[in-house]
Structure 1
Amino acid sequence: MKRILIPLLCVLFSVPAAYGQFAVDMGEGGRPSTQDTTVQAKEAFRLKTYFTALAGKDTLKLGRVFSGAVVLPGYAQAYHREYWKIPITYAGIGAGIYMGRHFHTKFRATEDDAFELYRNLCYVGAGLFYWGSLLDGVMQFKHDKPVLPARATLYSALLPGLGQIYNGDYWKVPIVYGGLIACGYFWQYNGLQYKRYKTMYNHAMANPPRYDGWMRPEDLKWYRDTFRRFRDYSILATVLVYALNIIDANVFAHFQDFDISDDLTLRIEPGFIHHVAYSGTLPQVAGIHMKLTF
């Protein structure tokens, strides 16, 4: 876990200190321009901006607020000045983890399946409090646009189909969940079959053999490898459907303020064409104008 978490933190909070500067020569006719056209690159985002934003001295985009909440639960609530939600978040996460460890200890001591179920439910509850804090941070973000693409993207990332509802594309929700349910079903089915044939193959190859079925070890090995491959395909399909759900929410959120009109006309009419050359302007000549209106 540490091998994954440490690089992730480095990526999220890397603070590049480089500054760019680009000089553009806007001279005309081969003569250098006397106007200063130096463009200063925008200053890189710094880690301290997360803390100055909490003090009200800076503002953050939704993506920055979300990344801060991922690493530090409750950051979004502090940024939105909803401090009363922070103790609730940490109480729920802490209680779930504590009770989960408690039931895990009892399960290891007694091997009672009931304690295993309680442990899993407690861990799921802690995860739901964490997930809820992220979703609440996205929902409470203030902006002046009717539809914010970043919000639609994070909605679909946190809860598939929610970004489509935010965009008004309600008809896509059954498609998203239909794809996820189908992929999840085949994922589970192929996984169970893989474990089944793997166990039978291991029993058949044991010394002495503990498998008394009618299938040969070669057949068991073939079925084991086949269902393992199908399981991997199912996992890949699930990830693909989930990713397409996020991409769809982002793309169609950008289309919300895009003017798509049926007024598309092409008009052809006579007119005069102006010839422009470096040496000067030539006389006008008659021609045809093609005007496309959309």
Structure 2
Amino acid sequence: MLFALCRWRRLWGALLGIVLAGVVLAGLTVPLAHAQPDSVRTERLRAQGYPENHTPRRALWRAAALPGWGQVYNRQYIKLPFVYAGLGGIVYNAVRNQNRYRLYRRANQFAVGRSEADENGGSNRFAQYESQYNEVLNEIGAGASASLIRQQRDAYQRQRNLMVIGTGVFYALTIVDAYVSAHLLTFDVGEDLSIQVHPTWQPAPTGTQAGVQATWRIGR
């Protein structure tokens, strides 16, 4: 029991670490536009119907506090089904694999206890898991060995761990999405923006080959 508790603490510690890493990553993300004067930022927020105090930092902390809150803060309601469907699917699979792991772990304990009882005499110290053992035999065959049951148990454990990590990664991505989307609200995407490409001839130093160099610039 103590070993299982320590393992779960490590998993949830890893999950929390991933979420915190997402917060830090969002905080360090360089905006796609240079810092804008407050007057320009306020004007663009007003034009889109947002309050003047709408900031990426507030979107970040809301997204970190509750999944989807950052998207609601940004009024991007269309993203909510994707946020909750993604998190719900991953969490569902994590819980399912945990339940399967627990089933096969108890079945394996019963098989090990029975082998010990056959060798040393006495009763099976895991006799309370006989029903789980029979359930597993109905799934994988009556002739399944303890080794096969243990392999299945380990497979479900790995899948559960991956789902727990996946939950943290997906949660961190929703935080980054809310933060970056809040920045994009005041990003200038006017129709008068253009990309200009200027090919230039690059003279070659003595003993090397010349080449063509292209430079590009985003401007109005």
Deviations 1:223-256 (A, max 9, x none): 0000000000110111111111111111111111
1:187 aligns with 2:77: no
- Paired with 1:148 and 1:155, the residues of 2 have a C-alpha distance of 11
Q: 1:242 to 1:218 in 2, by over 3 A?
A: same
For structure 1, which runs of at least 5 residues remain unmatched after alignment? 1-143, 269-289
- Paired with 1:291 and 1:222, the residues of 2 have a C-alpha distance of 58
- Paired with 2:82 and 2:196, the residues of 1 have a C-alpha distance of 42
1:175 aligns with 2:82: yes
2:160 is aligned, of 227, 231, 242, to: 231
Provide the residue aligned with 2:207 in structure 1.
none
Matches within 5 A, 1:80-119: none
Provide the residue aligned with 2:56 in structure 1.
149
- Paired with 1:221 and 1:236, the residues of 2 have a C-alpha distance of 23
Q: Report the secondary structure of 2:77's partner residue.
A: coil
Q: Report the secondary structure of 2:90's partner residue.
A: helix
Deviations 1:63-106 (A, max 9, x none): xxxxxxxxxxxxxxxxxxxxxxxxxxxxxxxxxxxxxxxxxxxx
Matches within 5 A, 1:210-289: 210=127, 213=137, 214=142, 215-265=144-194
Runs of 4+ in 1 over 4 A off after TM superposition: 209-213, 265-268
- Paired with 1:179 and 1:291, the residues of 2 have a C-alpha distance of 38
**Which one has the largest radius of gyration?**
1
Q: 1:146 to 1:200 in 2, by over 3 A?
A: same
Provide the residue aligned with 2:108 in structure 1.
201
- Paired with 1:231 and 1:258, the residues of 2 have a C-alpha distance of 40
Q: What is the one-letter code of the residue matched to 2:169?
A: L
Q: 1:170 to 1:216 in 2, by over 3 A?
A: same
Deviations 1:136-187 (A, max 9, x none): xxxxxxxx84421111011111111111111121111111100010001101
Q: Is the 8 A contact 1:147 1:256 kept in 2?
A: no
Deviations 1:180-199 (A, max 9, x none): 10001101100000000000
- Which one has a larger percent helix, Structure 1 or Structure 2? 2
For structure 2, which runs of at least 5 residues remain unmatched after alignment? 1-50, 118-123, 128-132, 198-215
In the superposition, the TM-score normalised over structure 2's length comes to: 0.54
- Paired with 1:262 and 1:241, the residues of 2 have a C-alpha distance of 34
Identity of aligned residues (%): 32
- Paired with 2:150 and 2:196, the residues of 1 have a C-alpha distance of 70
Deviation at 1:262, TM superposition (A): 1.8
Deviation at 1:200, TM superposition (A): 0.4
Q: Report the secondary structure of 1:254's partner residue.
A: helix
Q: What is the one-letter code of the residue matched to 1:239?
A: G
- Paired with 2:91 and 2:218, the residues of 1 have a C-alpha distance of 49
Matched residue pairs, number?
130
Q: Is the 8 A contact 1:264 1:293 kept in 2?
A: yes
